[in-house]
Structure 1
């Protein structure tokens, strides 16, 4: 009995760590979908791009003799800055009125950006993974020995704390500040928001930068927690985070959080009791069934105006 409880506790902690990985990226999708009403498919590759920045900065910091914690923090700042800068750089292109008017063109353009980022990093890394020495030497912040040993490694715990703090900060920003008030007004109608004095274009651009920074946080978690950067991870990570946001209710911040938790619990539960070879098959099958039964998502509201003009 004690062994079973220990095993369940370990899987619960694993699910929490995995949820902290998906959560910032799912929130990035929700933030921009609320503003544009469109799906920006390149956030996964923005995270991938930022993961390389995290690895390079972390490795350079270690070479200069900095400690593990300093290197982790510096790489976090670099990854989020890289993601935010990339989001700000592409905002002008993807927030253009002509592109937003054609949903299919918007999606294809975002796929083109994703491929560009992926190929750029493939060439830069010579088609190889880029590794960083493990931080904190395999130390554990929690370790209970008994019939079943329960462990929480330092680096995944640190990434989970960073994710929770970032999401809490974003939630405060979007619900308790003037920027958040303007963001909500712009997400309802950019034209009406502009009539009340809101600079909708600026709010949209800042939202893109914020979403990019959140993507950078996921990239940092991928690089530092798992020990390296891989140019090919953007597609799958991005799709999973997007589907988490969809299942929770696309455009809903609370839905994105719920969707990330549900996705993490599904993946960990399947891996704990069934073959990992079919994990993604099972997870995506669940997503299909969930969207068939509730197309608007768990916390989303049914949308009747698919072609609503948000510009």
Structure 2
């Protein structure tokens, strides 16, 4: 898939991301697909909408993930009859795969109003920015100041620089082919806690424009500890026990393989291990099985 990627310095949003609890059900759970703003059927009379400017199709662009928040901005645009008719400004989390920013905001977990003092929730402000783009038909119509904010759109106080720049990059790159999966966040987990290490395996996956864009292979113990973080904090002790790397370092390579192969699993042996991923000696078979289960709702 042809993707436009732009390296941005994302403006720091006032909202803070509240942590999402673990789903305790074994069945796959999917979030709703990202919302999008659609152009009204009637012509608004704006001169910009009178002239076809773009090739019909779907346009997709992303920005570099924000180092502080873990959100990676993406923009999806639909062009019909030469005009932008749908716009989706959103973000997926590279640290908490399965989270999509609009859904987190809609669920009241982003806290832009309650915790950040915003005039409206993030998804509500994003919808106004999307509608403005559809009306003007040009991202450049959204003037941005040095802080990445705009006075051009009433009711929008959040930073919009990433929206503008990513939309411009998507349009410049041209239409792309969507992948075979249904957009959203998906989850699956093991049936029980492991008798040896005390963790129950968990998998979370984000799908955008039909493709896997983020994955988290982890686990949770009875105390609620996240396995990846537990390992990163030096508590899992794989290297101390003679391993060549820590558990979170090896599982990250399995996640990357899963993303790069759009949900495909490598060949594993009877012990759940694989020679297909360099530097991975741990059992990864269960994670790929759970990931397949999670994505059943995306097919």
Please state which structure has a larger fraction of its residues in strand: 2
Higher relative contact order (CA 8 A, sep 6+): 1
Structure number, greater radius of gyration: 2
- Same fold, TM-score > 0.5, yes or no: no
Q: TM-score, normalised by structure 2?
A: 0.24
